[in-house]
Homo-oligomer: A and B are copies of this chain.
Amino acid sequence: MARIVECIPNFSEGRDAQKVQQILDVISAVPGVKLLDHSMNADHNRSVVTFIGEPEKVLEAAFSACSKAAELINMEQHHGEHPRIGATDVIPFVPISEVTMADCVEMAKKLGERIGTELQIPVYLYEEAATRPERRDLAYIRKGQYEALKAELGEKPEREPDFGPAHMHPSAGATVVGARMPLVAFNINLGTSDISIAKRIAKLIRARDGGYMFVKAMGVNLDERHIAQVSINMINFRKTSLYRVFETVKMEAERYGVPVVGSEIIGLVPMDALIDVAEYYLRIENFDRAQILESRLTVE
């Protein structure tokens, strides 16, 4: 396993499968990089790609992909429903295993510098890599999208990029690079069809209404099963752990005499998020992740 970083670049091409394939090809061509997933959305005219590997290799693949996208995608002709400012719109690095957030911030800066210098594309750092507090927020950087940024870059000081020229790349626009924690989609099913209970519990556990700092949640109906669900995005499972949220939902549901009947994890989850849960419930003392057999494997 060794040191692993996940990268989830978003490209402003969601209609031409051949072009997307060319981008995927340059990513796969980097030895040691593993492509996990990709999705194209024609309405958004955007693709989202997921790959993992050791930091140096992931950085290399991200740069190659960005370079290829700059060659293939012309922002002057791009239309789609999703906000965007460039051919490679955003590149987040996510620490998965034996890599710190500081390492990912470092990667973001290195990649930003290369994109700015070698490709002459203006780069903004966001989230954990942001150099100004307001730039932690991707929406702030993308305000007005490609068209507004093109007009304001070089004019307004708040638009000054972290790397690269103070003007748009003629076809590839600008790119946002950064670092963030992995997101875990964790849904908890209640033994009731009353969605109002799921909504009340969602409110109690989410950050913006006074709940846990790294939890986003809402109440939804599972129509087929006639039950309500608390649908949760865990945005930092290390600081707000899955078991804490699970036990809190159970505790709040008890007030209504409603049991928790199950849960589900949608998509990918880092192993550590589940090992935390086992450690908590088994009350394991002094456990070292190096004791996990699989953690001894290095990707060569």
Residues in chain A within 8 A of chain B (CB atoms): 1, 4, 6, 31-32, 34, 36, 52, 96-97, 182, 189, 242-243, 246, 260-265, 267-271, 274-275, 277-279, 281-287, 291-300
- Whether B269 pairs with A293 at a CB distance below 8 angstroms is yes
**Secondary structure call for the A interface:** mixed
Shortest beta-carbon distance from A57 to chain B in Å: 11
Pick from B270, B279, B286: contact of A293, CB under 8 Å: B270
- In the assembled complex, which residues on chain B have CB atoms less than 8 Å from the CB atom of A286? 264
Contact A284 B271, CB 8 Å, known A34-B298, A294-B96: no
Q: How far is the CA of A31 from the CA of B298 in the complex (A)?
A: 12
Q: A34-B298, A271-B271, A299-B299 are in contact. Are A282 and B277 (CB under 8 A)?
A: yes
A157–B34 alpha-carbon span in the complex (Å):
54
Q: How many copies does the complex hold?
A: 2
Contacts of A269 in B (CB 8 A): 291-293
Instruction: Return A72 CB to nearest CB of chain B, in Å.
Output: 27
Nearest B residue to A32 via CB reads B300
Contact A294 B97 (CB under 8 A): yes
Name which residue of chain B comes closest to A94, CB basis: B293
